[in-house]
Amino acid sequence: MTSFFLKTLIALMLGFASMGVSADGVGIQIQNPWVLAPPPNVKVMAAYLEIKNNGEKPRMLVNVSSPAFEQVGIHQSVMHGDMVHMEQLKELSIPSHASVMLKPGGLHFMLTDAKKPLSIGDQVPMTLTFQSGEKIAVTAIVRSGPAEGMEDHQHMDHSGHENHKH
């Protein structure tokens, strides 16, 4: 009887894992993670993706880390006059049954001080940590740009990010 119970429990857990549902029944899906390839000698990069919350409750992203970078922060682009400035966010709310898009010209992960030079096609591992303690591993691919919405990237103010502390 115990063997049957154990096998059933394992089968259920594997089924939930394959559907992308976490142990608490809340499903977070990460789609299309990518990093914009930097120009030569640029140490600040940006990562983009879609975070989809299939759960009944909002989820709060509170930290992002990567072994490939000294620092990773959650940022948004905000217009001030004719310049776009980066504002750091302490957390990012993902509403229930909704998606949040991180894309050029808007929300993004600011990747600071790459530990080694990255090229198009390289993989960047990241870990997203939610307020619940859940951690989701993501691998983003470095690709060339500009991507949609990056036409005005030359007007973005990234000054001060080389010493930016999170």
pLDDT, position 25? 42
- Residue 5's H or E segment, with its range, is helix 2-18
Q: Choose between 107 and 18: higher pLDDT.
A: 107
Residue 73 per-residue DSSP state? E
pLDDT, position 78? 87
Q: How confident is the model at residue 160 (pLDDT cuts 50, 70, 90)?
A: very low
- How much of the chain, in percent, has pLDDT values that exceed 90? 58
- Residue 81's H or E segment, with its range, is none
Three-class SS of residue 84?
A: strand
Q: Is the peptide bond before 125 cis (omega within 30 degrees of 0)?
A: no
Q: What is the pLDDT of residues 9-20, one digit of tens each?
A: 333 333 333 333
pLDDT, position 42? 84
Q: What is the pLDDT of residues 60-100, one digit of tens each?
A: 999 999 999 999 999 998 888 888 888 999 999 999 999 99
Length of the chain: 166
Residues pairing with 129 in the sheet: 63, 135
Domains of the chain, with CATH numbers? 26-163 (2.60.40.1890)
What CA–CA distance (Å, rounded) separates 164 from 160?
6
Question: What is the model's pTM?
Answer: 0.72
